[in-house]
């Protein structure tokens, strides 16, 4: 077979296929979209037209269903409402769980109330408990004096955090021009109450029985037996408390209000060291 014959056959086949495609497209152009009926179909429908009853709309169907439901409801006789009467607690009784719940809540409330009442009383009445910060009884005056003398010149009360020493009667005139009245009152009874806290930086100041002074080991401040500064870095003499004698003869120290110690240079008793110092001396 020659090339020319092949070409002729191919051209003829192409013409045939093109014709088939054109006819098919022309047929489809009769259809105007999905769901539309072709002209031929509409013709056939016209020819076989039959009078059918019109179908009910959706709204009509819904209305009919609602009417059917309302017709099926049973009417109830209207009665007056019955008033609610609370049940009798006695008749109901208390279950075990309720009992324990109420007991727990009651005990908690009682505990809190007791704690609050105790705190309130303690707040209003703090001085009545005694001890440091209030009035401290040390014992009979004569016994205190005896104890001072028998123990080498010093009596210590841990409860009052104080040293008690004797104040010489012949120094009283000088003391009255320097010390506060409450302090002088104690001195007139022959005693002075000195706060143990060093006025320098707060160390506890011990007595030195050999020198008969107070000598602070922290930085070397020294005070005579009635707490007047003799040496060291302390800014003043030892602070002190008011001391009084009760009607029964008891020595009472009021630790609620410390009195500032005397200024540097105060020396009402003229007491010098009576022996070796316990520390090497102030700096
Ligand atoms: S605390 Fe006593 S001398 Fe410093």
Higher-confidence residue of 255 and 38: namely 255
Please report the pLDDT score of residue 117 as a whole number. 85
Residue 171 lies in a domain: yes
Specify the residue with its C-alpha closest to ligand 1, atom 1.
Answer: 201
Residue 111's pLDDT is: 87
Share the mean pLDDT of the chain.
Answer: 86
Across the range 25-53, mean pLDDT stands at 62
- Whether 279 is in the pocket of ligand 1, judged by its Cβ within 6 Å, is no
CA 196 to ligand 1 centroid distance, Å: 11
223 CA distance to ligand 1 centroid (A)? 11
More confident residue, 6 or 235: 235
Query: CATH code at 217?
Result: 2.102.10.10
Kindly state whether residue 152 falls inside one of the protein's structural domains. Answer: yes
The mean pLDDT value for 142-154 works out to 97
* The pLDDT value given to residue 84: 85
> How would you label 135-147 residue by residue, b for 16+ Cβ within 10 Å and e otherwise?
bbebeebeebbee
If you average pLDDT over residues 157-180, what whole number do you get? 96
| pLDDT value for 5 | 75
**281 touches 231 (CB < 8 A):** yes
Contact between 273 and 213 under an 8 Å Cβ cutoff? The reply is: yes
On whether residue 8 sits in a domain, the answer given is no
In a domain, 231, yes or no: yes
The rounded distance, in Å, linking the Cα atoms of 168 and 156 is 19
Write down the residue that tokens 């009635």 correspond to.
226
| Cα 12 to ligand 1 centre (Å) | 131
Q: Atom of ligand 1 at shortest distance to CA of 205?
A: 2
- Report the atom number in ligand 1 closest to the C-alpha of 234: 3
Q: How far is the CA of 218 from the centre of ligand 1 (A)?
A: 5
Please indicate, yes or no, if residue 281 is contained in any of the structural domains.
no
**pLDDT digits 0-9 by tens, 68-104:** 888 777 676 677 788 888 877 766 667 777 788 888 8
Which domain covers residue 223, as residue numbers?
135-259
| pLDDT of 51 | 60
Give 237 or 30, the one with higher predicted confidence. 237
Q: Is the pLDDT of residue 31 over 80?
A: no
pLDDT score for 178: 95
Residue 32, pLDDT > 60, answer: no
Query: Using an 8 Å Cβ cutoff, are 134 and 256 in contact?
Result: yes
239 belongs to a structural domain? yes
| Contact call for residues 193 and 165 (beta carbons, < 8 A) | no
On whether residue 213 sits in a domain, the answer given is yes
Distance CA 81, CA 52 (A): 56
Instruction: Please count the structural domains in the chain.
Output: 1
Is the Cβ atom of 234 under 6 angstroms away from ligand 1? yes
Tell me, what's the pLDDT at 166? Answer: 98
Contact by Cβ (8 Å): 245, 142: no
Using most ligand atoms within 8 A of CB, pick from 194, 197, 221 the residue to mutate for ligand 1: 221
Specify the higher pLDDT residue, 86 or 158: 158
Is residue 118 lining ligand 1, measured as CB closer than 6 Å?
Answer: no
* 38 found inside a domain: no
For position 3, what pLDDT does the model report? 67
Model confidence band, residue 282 (pLDDT cutoffs 50, 70, 90): very low
Measured from the CA of 202, which atom of ligand 1 is nearest?
A: 1
pLDDT band for 27, please (50, 70, 90 cuts): low
For the entire predicted model, the pTM comes to 0.57
For residues 177 and 169, what is the distance between their CA atoms, to the nearest angstrom?
Answer: 14
* Average pLDDT of the segment spanning 4-29: 76
Residue 283 pLDDT: 43
- Strand 229-231, strand 240-245: pairing: unpaired
Asked if residue 23 has pLDDT above 90, the reply is no
């Amino acid at each position: 077979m020659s090339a020319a014959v092949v070409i002729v056959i191919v051209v003829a086949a192409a013409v045939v296929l093109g014709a088939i495609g054109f006819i098919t497209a022309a047929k489809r152009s009769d259809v105007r979209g999905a769901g539309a009926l072709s002209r031929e179909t509409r013709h056939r429908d016209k020819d076989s037209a039959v009078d059918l009853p019109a179908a009910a709309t959706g709204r009509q169907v819904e209305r009919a269903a609602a009417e059917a439901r309302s017709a099926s409801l049973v009417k109830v006789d209207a009665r007056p409402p019955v008033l609610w009467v609370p049940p009798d607690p006695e008749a109901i009784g208390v279950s075990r769980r309720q009992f324990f719940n109420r007991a727990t809540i009651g005990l908690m409330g009682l505990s809190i109330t007791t704690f609050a009442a105790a705190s309130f009383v303690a707040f209003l009445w703090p001085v009545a408990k005694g001890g440091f910060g209030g009035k401290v009884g040390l014992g009979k005056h004569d016994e205190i004096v005896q104890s001072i003398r028998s123990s080498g010149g010093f009596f210590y009360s841990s409860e009052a955090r104080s040293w008690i020493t004797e104040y010489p009667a012949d120094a009283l005139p000088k003391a009255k021009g320097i010390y506060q009245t409450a302090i002088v009152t104690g001195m007139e009874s022959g005693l002075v109450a000195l706060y143990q806290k060093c006025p320098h930086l707060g160390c506890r100041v011990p007595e030195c029985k050999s020198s008969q002074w107070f000598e602070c080991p922290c930085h070397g401040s020294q005070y005579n037996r009635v707490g007047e500064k003799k040496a060291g870095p302390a800014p003043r003499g030892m602070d002190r408390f008011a001391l009084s004698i009760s009607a029964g003869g008891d020595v009472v120290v009021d630790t609620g209000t410390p009195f500032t110690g005397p200024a540097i240079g105060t020396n009402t008793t003229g007491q010098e060291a009576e022996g070796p110092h316990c520390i090497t001396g102030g700096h």
